[in-house]
Amino acid sequence: MKMKNRAILSLGSNLGDRLMNLHTAMKLLTADTGELTINSSVYETEPWGLKEQPDFLNMVVGIETELSPQQLLSEIKYIEDELLREKSIRWGSRSIDIDILFFNDLVINSDILTIPHPEIANRRFVLVPLAEIFPDLIHPVLKKPVNSLLVNCSDPSEVKLFEQQKIIV
């Protein structure tokens, strides 16, 4: 019997039907990677990095999976391709963006994958939904709980509640 791993993912969309893109991504994640165990509310946020683009909808989900981090990354790239993600401009518009924030308490630094995601502590649009469902989770590198990272985040971006938490899948 394979061990179940806990992965925490960030989902974002700012093209097309943003909410439908998030819901579809969650369904594909459940079908392709494992069991969705929890999801945050959906938040609307201004773009990070490149400002001249539509606002994003963002959320965080927790999944249980038998996949390795590398296998999970491959499945995520497949899902992004299925939802026609175009990644031509860094921080540009996209129908879906899925990032692995945490995978168990692993720390991975490779050419293709960095876990925990290196920008977690700098992005309010990740920290707000993350703190909603995992406030006491300790960042394995920074050694601080998520709610503390949120309090100390210098990102001035506004994060507005768009849709209250509910399990969609």
List the catalytic residue out of 17, 18, 55, 85: 85
The burial class, CB within 10 Å (0-12 / 13-18 / 19+), for 51 is exposed
List the catalytic residue out of 97, 123, 124, 155: 97
| DSSP H or E stretch at residue 25 | helix 18-32
The span from the CA of 139 to the CA of 143, in Å, is 5
| DSSP H or E stretch at residue 44 | strand 42-45
Active-site annotation holds for 55: no
Active-site annotation holds for 105: no
Active-site annotation holds for 99: yes
Active-site annotation holds for 111: no
List the catalytic residue out of 18, 99, 123, 124: 99
List the catalytic residue out of 17, 18, 94, 111: 94
84-98 burial code (b ≥16 CB/10 A, e <16): ebeeeeeebbbbbbb
- Active centre residues (catalytic): 85, 94, 97, 99
